[in-house]
Amino acid sequence: MNSQRSKARTILALGIPNLSRVLGYRLSVKLGINPVRRIRAQLPIDDTFFTPFTPRGGRVGDGGEYPLTYFGWHTTQHRAPPNWHQNSFNSVTAQANLPWWQIPDFDPKLGDIKTVWEASRFDWVIHFAQQALQGNETALDNLNHWLSDWCTHNPAYYGVNWKCGQETSIRVMHLAFAALLLQQHQQASPALQTLIKAHLQRIAPTIHYAIAQDNNHGTSEAAALFIGGSWLHYLGDSDGKKWQRLGIKWLENRAKRLIEVDGSFSQYSVNYHRVMLDTYSMAEHWRRCLNLPTFSAQLYQQLQRATNWLYQMTQAETGDAPNLGANDGARLLPLNDIDYRDFRPAVQLAMALFCHRWVYSSKGDLKTPLHWLGIPIPQTLTEPPRSIHFANGGYSLMRQGNHFALLRFPCFRFRPSQADALHVDLWVAGQNLLRDAGTYSYNAGDETTQYFGGTASHNTIQFDDRDQMPRLSRFLFGEWLKANDVIPVHEQHGIVSTAAGYCDYQGAAHHRTVTLSINTLSIKDTVSGFTHKAVLRWRLQPSTWVLDESGISNGNHRITIRSSVPILRMEITQGWESRYYLQKTTLPVLEVEIHQAGELTTEYHFNS
């Protein structure tokens, strides 16, 4: 009965309108009454998508093999187009001859479907366009050949690459921006127009399903409809206008609903925040290039706030950021070779477009996206990041010089993807000393999925070997936590402090106070209400850590633990982290176990 009540409460929290959209979508597709089941299109084959032109510089030789990079780290070399239906990690091939709606979301034999989708996000379209502009003699031919090959092996609405509206949308955006780079957006070839239209026909009938997710699917699909629809309308296709209007409607709606007044995004994830922000940056730049009417003042205000959120999270020294929330390896508009975990290009682009300011002034390679897109560099420099409290999203950010600490507290208006309440991240000079585990994969088996999304993979306290919230399904937790006794970030006598707590669905309570001073992070945890045990975990930067009676040390840093009750166990164990999707590595984890209510105090002493 308790389980049923928990599910009922979670359903209500998700929202009846969203549930109606999902049920309506699934039923209409299954019964064949959704318009998406009736659309037909013939993709262009052996045609010219992008036309020859004179490059900016002289001709250069063939670049040889082309690298396809999956999720920012796994690279395969190709002289010819890849197998568009193959999982590049296990070489298993997905079914290509079935209508997309007949293909399951999860196929144990195939593995993670994202390994197939990645090559069809068309990152390579951007790269080939850049190479062609730089004078590579074969780049334009390769671009047209690969697109033709993709159309040949992905007939409209058949196979896994048509299954997801968001994947379809990312292709539209990358094709449009390749046309911008090549200055062919005003006179696009018939083949390119046909390809874009086939994609918009797939996206529009199922947009309500994307909207029901309250996540990046809705923003991506809205942007594709706006960009692709306005493009076709500009080129004389009357159908484009309805898609353009639909895209504008949902871009406005999603910014208003999903971006909080403090700039936090509905997915509680740094990487998905970047995806959302890049999506709006692409929509805004496209709007300017076609001289279309501006969006609403409210949308721009929301995007300014969202830009500031990512700016405050990003470490200026390295561009990295806390591995917070779900992370599926997504990155849009890859205009330079900077590492996947460098968030500065996204911040730089959004800051220029929405805030009319400049950041990271000494980093020349970070100007690359603006140069490629022809966006003027603003003259006003943004003020440095600071300690800040994001009350709506649930984040307290503390700064002392080049020291940065994050306290994550539960504040869920939307569904949480991880049980990470009161997690703490610590960074010094851009190096992550106390770290989050990440995601690894959405289809790696129950045990792995539960670990990476669960409480045990975070720097917090776990009660009785269970998660802070019960997992109801692969992507859904129940009994969403609510923070109590929250003390916003404040500074006094050179010490930055914050605090928050919660009481979970079984009555276990945890309150955490965090203070950051020169060379020391102090955390005081007060716990009660659990049945058997409470385990405190600190996920450490890989190093040679040595345990002694009062804590651990690696020679440069030292962590000490004090407790008001007996410590039953204190040891260094092995944990996992995934900084890139489908990549996992081990790291040391300090575990401290107590069996009764009490207070634990941790002090992390570090060298700047």
pLDDT digits 0-9 by tens, 447-497: 999 999 999 999 999 999 999 999 998 889 999 999 999 999 999 999 999
Taking the chain (608 residues) in consecutive chunks of 10 residues, what is each chunk's mean pLDDT? 78 90 92 94 93 70 76 94 96 95 90 96 97 94 97 98 98 99 97 98 97 98 99 98 99 99 98 99 99 99 99 97 96 94 97 96 79 94 96 98 97 97 98 97 89 98 98 92 98 96 98 97 99 99 93 95 97 98 98 99 91
pLDDT of the residue at 152: 98
d(CA 157, CA 98): 9
Picking from 230, 146, 150, the residue whose alpha carbon sits closest to that of residue 188 is 230
d(CA 339, CA 326): 19
Please say whether the beta carbons of 45 and 152 come within 8 A. Answer: yes
Please say whether the beta carbons of 528 and 502 come within 8 A. Answer: no
Identify the sign of the CA torsion 387, 391, 392, 398: positive
Residue 169, amino acid: S
Say how many CA atoms lie within 13 Å of 442 toward its Cβ: 18
d(CA 350, CA 371): 14
pLDDT digits 0-9 by tens, 519-577: 999 999 999 999 999 999 999 999 999 998 888 999 999 999 999 999 999 999 999 99
- For the sheet with 395-400, list strands across it: 388-390, 395-400, 403-408, 424-428, 431-434
Picking from 125, 70, 68, the residue whose alpha carbon sits closest to that of residue 340 is 70
pLDDT of the residue at 59: 46
Q: Is 118 exposed, middle or buried (0-12, 13-18, 19+ CB in 10 A)?
A: buried
Measured CA to CA in angstroms, residue 365 lies from 125, 216, 308, 351, 368 at distances of 21, 28, 21, 16, 6
Picking from 48, 41, 16, the residue whose alpha carbon sits closest to that of residue 190 is 48
- The position carrying tokens 């293909």 is 103
Picking from 545, 549, 577, 568, the residue whose alpha carbon sits closest to that of residue 558 is 545
CATH number of 389-605: 2.70.98.70
- The position carrying tokens 């409460």 is 9
pLDDT of the residue at 375: 96
Please say whether the beta carbons of 50 and 187 come within 8 A. Answer: no
pLDDT of the residue at 382: 95
Please say whether the beta carbons of 18 and 210 come within 8 A. Answer: no
- The position carrying tokens 């992507």 is 475
Name, in order, each residue with C-beta under 8 angstroms of 225's C-beta and a sequence gap of 6 or more: 169, 200, 203, 204, 207, 243, 244, 246, 247, 250
Question: Per-domain residue ranges for the chain?
Answer: 389-605
